[in-house]
């Protein structure tokens, strides 16, 4: 949510700074990036611990008190004992990087790589980074392109808020799949509209009002589909499936893959736009189809499942079950706790 609000504020600042006639508005936009950096720096001073981090430092009483505060109830013994057992198992692991390559962690490793990869290849960052350039290339004026980028960033923030209130009601899989269908349809609409108007010459002539409205609406609906599915869930789901003994390595992989893909797309976007033109949307639409099929076939529902019990979910999955052994410590722990 904070990221989408930041994108909105950045676009808002870009829009109003572009109206400064002296021509130094870009300095204001660039310098404004200092503010969120300072907020993160100062906010980290008051950043709270988690029950797991306290357990890793053998602060059992503080961990239990914090868990009670988070849950809002006093009876957290069962969950606390699961956390303690998982923490003890994690301490036995000597090398998390070597451990994550073991066969039994194949599901986690697969999602650590593919979820951030697919998240970036929805094409969303193209619109976040280059929305003004993209709109200007489609014939919008300078101010109109900045205004369109501002509108899409508002949609992004509002749709992310929708995800916060619906993710635990509808589940992760449904939002992933619904968002995929929504993005695919909108990319087809934008492809047809731009191909019809631009062709391969790249010269749209005078843009009619209906075309401008169609493109902006289609892009807004596309961004909404991303913002309540792949946007937040691309970070939420990995955090729910990594057990403590590989969590640090798995989270590192997720972030690195995300950043590398973000960098790659940022570098090649303008080249792709010039050469593919409307084919750019077909390129990302194809990835949306692939990632939606992947989620449908391989991602189990993680709604309401504690990390300590994810082994049971993998064991019951028609594909991932072959990677989980019956003598796995996590599986044995769940059986003893009556969760199987």
Mean pLDDT of the chain: 83
User: What is the predicted pLDDT for the residue at 90?
Assistant: 72
Residue 106: CB atoms within 10 A of its CB come to 16
More confident residue, 171 or 327: 171
User: What is the predicted pLDDT for the residue at 8?
Assistant: 82
Task: Provide the whole-model pTM.
Answer: 0.78
User: What is the predicted pLDDT for the residue at 333?
Assistant: 55
Assign 211 a pLDDT band (cuts: 50, 70, 90).
Answer: confident
User: What is the predicted pLDDT for the residue at 126?
Assistant: 75
More confident residue, 278 or 134: 278
Q: Read off the pLDDT of residues 181-209 as tens digits, 9 standing for 90 and up.
A: 999 999 898 888 878 876 666 565 566 77
User: What is the predicted pLDDT for the residue at 174?
Assistant: 94
State how far the Cα of 195 lies from the Cα of 53, in Å rounded to an integer: 53
User: What is the predicted pLDDT for the residue at 9?
Assistant: 84
User: What is the predicted pLDDT for the residue at 202?
Assistant: 58
More confident residue, 94 or 16: 16
User: What is the predicted pLDDT for the residue at 253?
Assistant: 95
pLDDT surpassing 90 at residue 252: yes
pLDDT surpassing 70 at residue 132: no
CA-closest candidate to residue 324, choices 241, 212, 233: 241
pLDDT surpassing 70 at residue 230: yes
CA-closest candidate to residue 307, choices 48, 72, 93, 89: 89
pLDDT surpassing 60 at residue 210: yes
Mean pLDDT in residue range 268-276:
80
More confident residue, 307 or 230: 230
Contacting residues for 168 by C-beta, under 8 A, at least 6 apart:
303, 304
Assign 285 a pLDDT band (cuts: 50, 70, 90).
Answer: very high
Assign 308 a pLDDT band (cuts: 50, 70, 90).
Answer: confident
User: What is the predicted pLDDT for the residue at 336?
Assistant: 54
Mean pLDDT in residue range 206-220:
76
User: What is the predicted pLDDT for the residue at 334?
Assistant: 55
Q: Read off the pLDDT of residues 50-81 as tens digits, 9 standing for 90 and up.
A: 888 888 888 989 999 999 988 888 888 888 88
Highest mean pLDDT among 11-15, 33-37, 207-211: 33-37
Residue 147: CB atoms within 10 A of its CB come to 17
User: What is the predicted pLDDT for the residue at 136?
Assistant: 65
User: What is the predicted pLDDT for the residue at 123?
Assistant: 85
Mean pLDDT in residue range 95-116:
91
């Amino acid at each position: 949510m904070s990221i989408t609000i930041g994108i909105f504020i950045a676009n808002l600042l870009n829009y109003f700074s572009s109206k400064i006639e002296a021509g130094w508005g870009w300095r204001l936009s660039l310098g404004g990036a200092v503010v969120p950096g300072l907020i993160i720096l100062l906010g980290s001073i008051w950043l709270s611990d988690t029950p797991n981090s306290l357990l890793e430092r053998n602060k059992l009483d503080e961990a239990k008190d914090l868990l009670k505060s988070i849950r809002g109830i006093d009876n957290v013994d069962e969950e606390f004992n699961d956390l303690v057992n998982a923490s003890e198992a994690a301490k036995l692991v000597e090398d998390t990087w070597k451990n994550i390559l073991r066969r039994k962690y194949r599901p986690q490793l697969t999602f650590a790589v593919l979820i951030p990869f697919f998240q970036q290849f929805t094409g969303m960052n193209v619109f976040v980074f280059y929305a003004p350039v993209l709109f200007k290339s489609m014939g919008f004026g300078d101010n109109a392109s900045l205004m369109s980028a501002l509108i899409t960033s508002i949609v992004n923030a509002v749709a992310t808020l929708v995800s916060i209130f619906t993710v635990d009601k509808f589940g992760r899989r449904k939002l992933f799949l619904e968002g995929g269908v929504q993005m695919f349809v909108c990319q087809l609409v934008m492809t047809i509209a731009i191909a019809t108007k631009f062709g391969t010459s790249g010269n749209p002539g005078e843009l009619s009002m209906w075309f401008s409205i169609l493109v902006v609406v289609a892009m807004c609906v596309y961004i909404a589909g991303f913002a309540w599915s792949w946007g937040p869930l691309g970070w939420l789901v990995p955090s729910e499936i990594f057990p403590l003994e590989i969590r640090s390595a798995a989270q590192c992989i997720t972030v690195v893959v995300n950043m590398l893909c973000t960098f790659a797309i940022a570098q090649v976007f303008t080249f792709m736009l010039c050469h593919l033109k409307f084919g750019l949307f077909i390129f990302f639409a194809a990835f949306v189809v692939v990632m939606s099929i992947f989620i449908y076939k391989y991602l189990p529902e993680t709604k309401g499942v504690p990390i300590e019990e994810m082994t049971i979910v993998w064991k019951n999955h028609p594909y991932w079950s072959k990677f989980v052994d019956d003598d796995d410590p996590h599986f044995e722990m769940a059986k003893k706790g009556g969760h199987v």
